[in-house]
Structure 1
Amino acid sequence: MTMSDRYRTAWDGFWAESSGEPGEPFWDADPTLSARRDLDHLDPYADRSLPIADLGCGNGTQTRFLATRFARAVGVDLSAAAVAHARRADPEGIATYEQLNLANPAEADDLHERLGDTNVYMRAVLHQSDPEDRPAVAASVAQLVGTHGRALVLEPTGEAKEVIAAVAARPGGPSPKLRRVKEHDLHPGEVAEGEVAALLRAAGLTVLDEGAAALTMSETHPDGTPVELPGRWFVAGRP
């Protein structure tokens, strides 16, 4: 079984046991607390008349919001079960969804042929990819962006593991949301400092801007405030 096959099996298992409802997964925050805020970083650089591709779209929570801000939105995910959830949650077809393996740039090339240059929104995907696959994922981002698109890439930093460990160590043990992640072997990885920028540059992109980010989760603290993971955001494209 290849790395991509292993990931597909793990993610299909996770999504097959999910209702697909927004907020059910640990990371599936309301778009007002995630995509809407994230776009503040992308807006100064992106042409909104171009489409936007939501990479690692899951059940499409963020994709449906992005479709209200761009000419067209397409959500892509490795998991067929996730894509099925996204389509069911969008009966009016606000966005479109399809299965795509980001570790295979040829699939990204095919999507680019159909969409043309596109903006990219990719939130917390690289850290869930094996290090060996990350250059190919970055190459897929570059392929989709083309000449005129812009990519917004957000990733948790190493400190995020400490936050997750603290959530897991609460009285009573990990929450149901966090247990489901671990049960399906979807353990968060770590993207080293400087790695995201290096991957984007190696793929032929220029990092146009970057900064610290707080990645909001759907999980909450006992006082009801959302769990936030320390992260960084990067806007990249071809100048």
Structure 2
Amino acid sequence: MNVSEGHREAWEGFWAAASGAPGEALWDADPSLASVPHSKLLLPYADASLPVVDLGCGNGTQTRALATLFPRAIGVDLSHAAIGHARRADTEGVAEFARLDLVDGEAVRALHERIGDTNVYMRAVIHQSEPGARPAVAAAVAELVGEKGRAFVTEPTPAAKDVIRRAAAGPGGPPPKLRRPLDPRLKPASATAEEVPELLRAAGLTVLADGDTALAQTEYLPDGTRIELPARWLVLAGAPRAA
């Protein structure tokens, strides 16, 4: 299975039109507002000697931060253009980057065979995935963590749509960084509240901890406050492999 051509083209087009500069994309928050505090939630449950894979890494901002917390950090993304941005931005070579379609089970298994059980970081990927592809995305998380790894997954809740609508309804219309993600093919905040944990459990993952949070964005409301999307986070473990 692979993502649809339209979905792939939408993301390829998004990143091809971007410069890759930090903070240019709406969700490309500074790691101090994203992967760093998220890692503090993950690490009490994780083996920090294992690698970490950043699923949907985009231009690699979070991957490079994760490389300071784990011995090996690998960022993967559906878009060739995104991976190009990530490699160019990693001037010190602290991380690795590769193009990967998360719903391509064979490719995901090949990555797991190459690196072994790994920790996973996934921020706001399921809600951007096509509904039919979401079980495969959850299965990719389960495949990669195996028995020893742990996953941190955070996704916007449906309440994020209200925040996006309010931001887009300002007197000047949507702020610049919000206009491209409103492309209907990118499906912002389209997963239901229970869909994400249900998908992950169905993939064989066990929820070790969870809670509410807000995902900081790089755009601001007319009054100067940062856009933050209501979200839920989960720390997950995989199932033991059959003998």
Indicate the TM-score class for this superposition, using the shorter chain for normalisation.
Answer: over 0.9
Structure 2 residue aligned with 1:40: 40
Structure 1 Cα separation of the partners of residues 68 and 223 of structure 2: 32
Structure 2 Cα separation of the partners of residues 111 and 83 of structure 1: 16
1:154 equivalent in alignment to 2:154: yes
Contact 2:163 2:229 in 1 (8 A): yes
Structure 1 residue aligned with 2:208: 208
**What's the offset of the Cα at 1:7?**
1.7
| Pairing of 1:1-239 with structure 2 (within 5 A) | 3-183=3-183, 185-238=185-238
Mark the runs of 5 or more structure 1 residues left unpaired by the alignment: none
For residue 139 of structure 1, give the secondary structure of its aligned residue in structure 2.
Answer: helix
> Letter of the aligned partner of 1:64 in structure 2?
R
For residue 44 of structure 2, give the secondary structure of its aligned residue in structure 1.
Answer: coil
For residue 101 of structure 2, give the secondary structure of its aligned residue in structure 1.
Answer: coil
Contact 1:14 1:184 in 2 (8 A): no
Structure 2 Cα separation of the partners of residues 198 and 184 of structure 1: 24
Residues 184 and 95 of structure 1, relative CA distance in 2, 3 Å threshold: farther
> Letter of the aligned partner of 1:206 in structure 2?
T
TM normalised by structure 1 equals 0.95
RMSD of the alignment, in Å? 1.4
Structure 2 Cα separation of the partners of residues 37 and 221 of structure 1: 23
**What's the offset of the Cα at 1:197?**
1.4
Count the aligned residue pairs: 238
Structure 2 Cα separation of the partners of residues 183 and 51 of structure 1: 34
Contact 1:52 1:74 in 2 (8 A): yes
For residue 43 of structure 1, give the secondary structure of its aligned residue in structure 2.
Answer: helix
**What's the offset of the Cα at 1:202?**
1.0
**What's the offset of the Cα at 1:180?**
2.0
Residues 4 and 93 of structure 1, relative CA distance in 2, 3 Å threshold: farther
Q: CA offsets per residue over residues 36-55 of structure 1, 9 Å max, x none? A: 11112101101111000000
Structure 2 Cα separation of the partners of residues 56 and 190 of structure 1: 17
Q: CA offsets per residue over residues 164-207 of structure 1, 9 Å max, x none? A: 00000111101111112235842304221222111111111111
> Letter of the aligned partner of 1:156 in structure 2?
P
TM normalised by structure 2 equals 0.94
Contact 2:127 2:190 in 1 (8 A): yes
Contact 1:14 1:180 in 2 (8 A): yes
Q: CA offsets per residue over residues 117-156 of structure 1, 9 Å max, x none? A: 0000000000011111111001110000011000001000
Structure 1 Cα separation of the partners of residues 147 and 187 of structure 2: 35
Contact 1:10 1:184 in 2 (8 A): no
Structure 2 Cα separation of the partners of residues 17 and 184 of structure 1: 17
**What's the offset of the Cα at 1:8?**
1.5
List 4+ stretches of structure 1 deviating above 6 A. Answer: none
Contact 2:7 2:185 in 1 (8 A): no
Structure 1 Cα separation of the partners of residues 164 and 184 of structure 2: 16
Q: CA offsets per residue over residues 67-98 of structure 1, 9 Å max, x none? A: 00001000000000000000000122110000
Mark the runs of 5 or more structure 2 residues left unpaired by the alignment: none
> Letter of the aligned partner of 1:115 in structure 2?
I
Structure 1 Cα separation of the partners of residues 41 and 175 of structure 2: 32
For residue 44 of structure 1, give the secondary structure of its aligned residue in structure 2.
Answer: helix
